[in-house]
Amino acid sequence: MILETERLILRKLEERDDERMFLMDSDPEVMKYLEPPVKNKEESKKVIRMIQKQYEENGVGRLAVIEKESGLLIGWCGLKRLKEPINGYVETLDLGYRFIPAFWGKGYAWEAANATLDYGFKELKANIIYAYADSANAGSNYILAKLGFENTGQFEDSGVKCSWYELKREKYI
């Protein structure tokens, strides 16, 4: 599966992406609202293998986001099938994204997420796509609102107050 936008290519993550994934996931600023930063490239390889397993088992997973101009992996974005309940939801599609700070503020998250939503609604025929973000993460919450997601409430995830979002097909297409 490959998605393409004006400036980006979204493709399945590969083992060779470990160095750029480590650069992103070891950065405390990137991981501020997420899990603790990874400590070595082996941890990044484990994350890549976990996502590759999701492709096989669920038909979807987060995708590497490659900047066309540089050819560099600048982050990931994609849909994930929730297999464990989050806010009481399971077996639903969740939109997520993460980017290297040097690429923040350039519209890449919105561009990649928009291509992902197109794929989810048009190719996967999803009726609704969900997303959630730490309530304190202003950047992520802003992007979700800009994409058209509706904030439908708050919930706690591992003791963190999160905002829950949903986007229905009829509001997107």
Domain residue ranges in the chain: 2-172
Q: How many DSSP H helices and E strands does the chain contain?
A: 5, 8
Percentage of the chain modeled with pLDDT above 70: 100
What is the predicted pLDDT for the residue at 54? 96
Q: Are 60 and 7 in contact (CB under 8 A)?
A: no
Q: What CATH topology corresponds to 2-172?
A: Aminopeptidase (3.40.630)
CA distance 158 to 143: 23
Mean pLDDT of the chain: 96
Mean pLDDT across 85-108 = 97
- What pLDDT is attached to residue 24? 98
Model confidence at 1, pLDDT cuts 50, 70, 90, reads confident
**Which pLDDT tens digit goes with each residue over 13-71?**
999 999 999 999 999 999 999 989 999 999 999 999 999 999 999 999 999 999 999 99
Q: pLDDT tens across 82-91, in order? A: 999 999 999 9
* pLDDT band at residue 8 using 50, 70 and 90 as cut-offs: very high
pLDDT band for position 158 (cuts 50, 70, 90): confident
The C-alpha atoms of residue 29 and residue 5 are separated, in whole angstroms, by 27
